[in-house]
């Protein structure tokens, strides 16, 4: 039974879904009639309750997916399909310390809090005051965030923690902050990034070439749902396609000897020569 103060999903016969909080004196008024919150609190998840007009409504328990979709947003949130892979690649889980910037509306922060649990830590940095407050409100609304520390901070000044297991950057120019990452992470830590355009991805890759980073992956995730009809199974007419590029890598010591022992074909030798040329050109540039 959903206790008072908890969140519940109400589904109407027309398929409309509403995520609401069960509060004793705040009955829900709709075209289907008045839904008593006391009736909701006395029912079971997966069951049905009736309104004052006798209309049946179904009750469902919200999962992480529903909480992410239900956050109040002033920014474009990261889609659940991307969040799932991000959490997997960063190894978010019990006892892990995860660092992210920026918080935005807090959708990814919420998921990291969920996966890391009471024994984990999540540190989230946000430079803008309005988003910093919004992320905290969304975490409180979802009943999560006890393991989250929100930092009102511009990461151009560096990161507020050391020894983190992973870092995720959802910022416009992440290559500008790579120099601060080694001081915030433990050796061999994982890094992830989200960027919308190929130009930004190329700029980040050039930054990662300067080290100490390796094991780089660039990908995008496409989600296509199918119509759940046993006798007419086929894809939906619409799909969630490109929402951004995901880039992952590791903090890695890179020696000249190791690189020299890699087997290289003609194409790889040309690529390596171009990379070395870019590194040399960057090294000759004066420091800002």
Is the domain of 13 the same as that of 146? Answer: no
Query: Computed from CA positions of residues 115, 118, 119, 122, in that sequence, does the dihedral angle turn out positive or negative?
Result: positive
Tell me the longest C-alpha to C-alpha distance in the chain.
77
- The answer to whether 20 and 10 have CB atoms below 8 angstroms apart is yes
Task: Decide which of 41, 62, 83 is a domain's last residue.
Answer: 62
Give ∠ CA 15-16-22 in degrees, rounded to 5. Answer: 125
57 and 118 share one domain: no
Which one of 62, 78, 98 terminates a domain? Answer: 62
Rounded-to-10 torsion of CA 284, 213, 201, 112? -140
Q: Is residue 282 part of a domain?
A: no
What separation in angstroms does the CA of 99 have from each of 95, 123, 131, 229?
A: 13, 5, 17, 42
244 with 144, same domain? Answer: yes
Q: Do 15 and 136 reside in the same domain of the chain?
A: no
**Is there a single domain that holds both residue 175 and residue 48?**
no
145 shares its domain with 213? yes
Same domain? 36 vs 165: no
pLDDT of residue 265: 85
Asked if residue 275 is part of any domain, the answer here is: no
Res 179 pLDDT > 90 = yes
Residue 161 located in a structural domain: yes
pLDDT tens digits, one per residue of 34-87: 999 999 999 999 999 999 999 999 999 999 999 999 999 988 889 999 999 999
DSSP lists the bridge partners of residue 251 as 213
Kindly state whether residues 41 and 111 are assigned to the same domain: no
Determine the Cα–Cα distance for residues 18 and 216; give it in Å rounded to an integer: 41
Q: Within this chain, do residues 89 and 215 fall inside the same structural domain, yes or no?
A: yes
Q: What is the pLDDT of residues 3-35, one digit of tens each?
A: 999 999 999 999 999 999 999 889 999 999 999
Helix (H) or strand (E) run with residue 181 in it: helix 181-184
Please state whether beta strands 185-195 and 245-251 pair in parallel, antiparallel, or not at all (unpaired): antiparallel
Number of domains in the chain: 2
- Based on the fold, state whether residues 194 and 117 are members of the same structural domain: yes
Q: Is residue 85 part of a domain?
A: yes
Q: How many CB atoms lie within 10 A of CB 168?
A: 27
Residues 142 and 104 in one domain: yes
Q: Is residue 285 part of a domain?
A: no
**pLDDT grade, residue 288 (50/70/90)?**
low
Is the pLDDT assigned to residue 177 strictly greater than 60? Answer: yes
The answer to whether position 284 is within a domain reads: no
Does 90 fall in a domain? yes
**Residue-wise pLDDT tens digits, 120-133:** 999 999 999 999 99
For residues 151 and 245, membership in a common domain is answered with yes
- Cis ω on the peptide bond leading into residue 92 (within 30° of 0)? no
CATH (domain of 128): 3.40.50.150
pTM to 2 decimal places:
0.90
Residue 77 CB neighbours (<10 A) = 20
CATH number at residue 50: 3.10.330.20
Query: Does 18 fall in a domain?
Result: yes
> How far is it, in rounded angstroms, from Cα 123 to Cα 125?
7
> DSSP state, 269?
H
127 vs 106: CA distance, rounded Å: 13
The range of the structural domain enclosing residue 145 comes to 66-268
């Amino acid at each position: 039974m959903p206790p008072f103060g908890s969140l519940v999903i109400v589904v109407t016969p027309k398929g409309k879904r509403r995520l609401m909080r069960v509060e004793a004196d705040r009955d829900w008024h709709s075209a289907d009639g008045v839904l008593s919150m006391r009736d909701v609190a006395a029912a079971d998840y997966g069951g049905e309750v009736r309104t004052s007009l006798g209309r049946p409504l179904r009750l469902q328990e919200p999962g992480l997916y529903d909480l992410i979709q239900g956050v109040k947003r002033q920014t474009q949130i990261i889609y659940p399909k991307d969040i799932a892979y991000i959490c997997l690649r960063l190894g978010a889980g019990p006892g892990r310390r995860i660092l992210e910037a920026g918080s935005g509306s807090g959708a990814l922060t919420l998921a990291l809090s969920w996966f890391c649990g009471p024994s984990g830590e999540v540190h989230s940095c946000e430079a803008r005051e309005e988003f910093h407050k919004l992320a905290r409100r969304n975490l409180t609304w979802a009943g999560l965030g006890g393991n989250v520390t929100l930092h009102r901070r511009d990461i151009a000044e560096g990161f507020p923690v050391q020894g983190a297991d992973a870092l995720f950057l959802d910022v416009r120019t992440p290559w500008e902050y790579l120099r601060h990452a080694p001081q915030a992470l433990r050796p061999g830590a994982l890094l992830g990034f989200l960027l919308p355009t190929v130009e930004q991805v190329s700029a980040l890759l050039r930054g990662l070439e300067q080290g100490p980073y390796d094991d780089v992956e660039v990908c995008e995730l496409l989600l296509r749902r199918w119509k759940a009809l046993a006798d007419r199974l086929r894809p939906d007419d619409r799909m969630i396609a490109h929402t951004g590029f995901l880039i992952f890598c590791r903090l890695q010591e890179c020696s000249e000897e190791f690189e020299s022992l890699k087997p290289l074909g003609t194409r790889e030798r040309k690529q390596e020569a171009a990379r070395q040329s870019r590194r040399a050109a960057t090294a000759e540039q004066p420091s800002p």
